[in-house]
Each structure stands twice: as structure tokens, then as C-alpha cells.
Amino acid sequence: MSLTIQEARQQVAELGKKMLAGGLVAGTWGNISARVPQSDVVVITPSGMDYTKLRPSDIVVLDLTGKVLEGEHKPSSEAPLHLAIYRSRSDVAGVVHTHSEAATAFAVVREPIPPVVEDAAMLVGGAVAVAEYALPGTEELAKNVVTALGNRYAVLMANHGLVGVGRHVEEAFTVCQVVEKAAKIYALARNLGEPQIIPEQDVLTLSQVYRHSYGQPKK
């Protein structure tokens, strides 16, 4: 997926509205970013602005050091977190941070979400680990998240929320949706009995199938 800067800004603005409408955040919390392919340019939601009113021109353009290249607004306070992920993961071109209820409940009790459903296993590549607590917007939090994320595609932030990453920002958004659903299913299943975890080798196979052969072939 190849995007121009303007197309990436448009996409992030639209996903902000979708994130709020889907109940993944409340108010102006949460943040979304996209990396422009084959570049060190990142576009990110501004700090504290109403998602329903976001325009593409409101989305801030940064380089990987955090320098503002374009935009009139202050970038999200979690920009250090997004940029740290991009610097550590060349395969990632989208980062979405949500405060969805079920996933955040696991973050509050600091319990990982195991691979109990196939779509989450495919997208995440294993359990959703919990990053150690640090204050929001800090370099310490960014470091903790990068460490806990490893080579997977989702991570919980202790007492805070969820981060999903992807090969593009739409995939990162889907990761957050699927992890939230998996958290709800896992919590419900524990009330019914003993949830059965998908074996590690099967998780690896599911993830590889999704990464390499899921969907329609590229033309």
C-alpha cells in the first residue's frame, strides 16, 4: 500500500472518527499515526482535538526524530511512543492506541491476553503482553512498550490501554478491534469454564498464513 502524505493524513483523520464511533476511545483520548512508505515521515493525530471535527490538514506531519514538518497543531502527547515503535520496527507503517474497555481491564490487572481465538492469533502472532507502567507521554513508556511488543502486533500498557500496529494504519486499527473482541471472549469464557489456549505452533502457522497468503492475491 503506497500513500502520499496527504492521503495518509486523510486516512488518519477518517480512522479517528471511526475509532470514536466504535467505542474504542472516549473524548479526545487515544491516538493514531501512519508512516509514509519508503520514508522517515510520520503523520499523527493532534493533541486533544475532537475526532468528529478532524480534517486532514489537522493531522501533524513529523520526522522520526519528532521534528514537525507540517501542521499548525501540537502532535499527540504519545508521539514519542509512536516514533519509538517505527524506529524499532521497519515492518510497521501504522500505530493505533485505544482505551477500549475489555482490553484495558486486562491492562489494569496487568494480565496478558492469550491467543484463544484464531483471528487474534493471526493478527497478533501470540499473546498480547503487558508493558510495564510508566507515565503517559514519557520516553520510559515508549521504551517499555517497544520491549513488551517485541515482534508481535499488539501490546497492553499497564493501567492505560492498548496499542496495535500493522503493515499499514488500517491493519493496526483492525488489530485493536480484534484484540478488544478477544479480550471480551476470554473474559466470558473464564466464567463458563477453563479457556483452551491455541498451541504455540498453531499460532505461528495461523500468523504466517495471514501474513503471506490470506486474502486476494496481489496483481
Q: How many CA atoms lie within 13 A of 178 on its CB side?
A: 27
Q: What torsion do the CA atoms of 128, 23, 49, 14 make, to the nearest 10 degrees?
A: 90
| In contact, 165 and 151? CB cutoff 8 Å | no
Cα(179)–Cα(168) distance, rounded to whole angstroms? 17
Q: Which three cell numbers stand for residue 28?
A: 479526545
Alpha helix positions (H), 22-162: 79-88, 101-108, 118-124, 139-149
Active-site position among 78, 132, 180, 200: 78
What φ, ψ does residue 46 adopt, rounded to 5°? -75, 165
78 is catalytic: yes
What cell was used for 178? 480484534
Annotated catalytic residues are 78
